[in-house]
Amino acid sequence: MTQKLILALPKGRILDQVMPILERCDIQPEDAFFNDKDRGLRFTTNHAHLDIIRVRAFDVATFVAFGAAQLGIVGSDVIEEFRYEELFSPLSLGIGKCRLSVAMKSNDPEKKNPKSWSHINIATKYPNLTRKHFANKGIQAECIKLSGAMEIAPNLDLCRHIVDLVESGSTLKANGLEEIETILDVSSYLVVNKTASKVMQSDIDGWIERFRSALR
């Protein structure tokens, strides 16, 4: 008996870049998947044994780590933030490229002298990566966890620094911020649950190879 597999896809930015890859893998979601008004979260595909769920990018890693989904597509920012032991990332998909960076107000006088930072407040969605990055430099980073619109925080004196994804830098610029340093170069990966890769080895290996050939 073949067990049903679930592929978790991230909502938003990356999804548009994922769709052509799915097409080359011959994975066609049911029509409801493309209907923005549809409230369903789980969708069938043209493969009887493969369903798709559409969740927030951060949650893709969690669904796959817990084995609620066996496969997923997610950015290396999320993989590195959680570092789930139960998940591995066998394939770089070459999409969703951006970087995780530290930014400050362009006119912040402290900006020019990072060596003087010893204890800083940072607004971010990535508290683990941020703390680790600054700990390596001997800087105690107090993270203020925000879920979005990070760029407004320095202007309202919530904090002086933010750590967020930067693609073109235009959002930073529009909010009077400037990129100070890069923490991580980000791109999207196919991720796999470890237990599933053992218990359903041939199915899972088959899908990984299918994605691999779709990239050629």
Partner 1 sequence: MTSKLLPNGLLDLLPDVAEKEADNIHNLMLYFKSFGYSRVKPPLIEFEDTLLQGLGEAIAPHMFRVMDPKSQKMMGLRADITPQIARIAATRYERDDYPLRFSYAGDVLHVKGSQLDPTRQFTQVGCELIGDDSIAADIETIMLSLNALTEIGFKDITLDITLPALLRSIFMDKMDGALLKALENKNKEQIKALGGDYSDLLLALLSMSGDTDHDIEILQGLSVPAEAQIELDRLQSVVKGVQDELKKSKISVSLTIDPTQHSFFNYHRGVSFSLYISGVREVIGRGGRYDFDTDQGTASAIGFSIYMNALRNI
Binding site for partner 1 (CB under 8 A): 3, 65-67, 82, 84-86, 88-92, 193, 195, 198-199, 201-202, 205, 212
Residue among 127 and 169 whose Cβ is closer to partner 1: 127
Cβ 187 to partner 1 shortest distance, Å: 12
SS3 per-residue string spanning the chain:
CCCCEEEEEECCCCHHHHHHHHHHCCCCECHHHHCCCCCCCEEEECCCCEEEEEECHHHHHHHHHCCCCCEEEEEHHHHHHHCCCCEEEEEECCCCCEEEEEEEECCCHHHHCHHHCCEEEEEECCHHHHHHHHHCCCCEEEEEECCCCHHHCHHHCCCCEEEEEECCCHHHHHCCEEEEEEEEEECEEEEEEHHHHHHCHHHHHHHHHHHHHHHC
Cβ 139 to partner 1 shortest distance, Å: 23
Residue among 97 and 160 whose Cβ is closer to partner 1: 97
Cβ 82 to partner 1 shortest distance, Å: 7
Cβ 70 to partner 1 shortest distance, Å: 10
Cβ 153 to partner 1 shortest distance, Å: 28
Q: Where are the beta strands (DSSP E) in 108-187?
A: 119-124, 140-145, 161-166, 177-186
Residue among 104 and 183 whose Cβ is closer to partner 1: 183
Cβ 204 to partner 1 shortest distance, Å: 10
Residue among 180 and 214 whose Cβ is closer to partner 1: 214
Residue among 88 and 117 whose Cβ is closer to partner 1: 88
Residue among 36 and 85 whose Cβ is closer to partner 1: 85
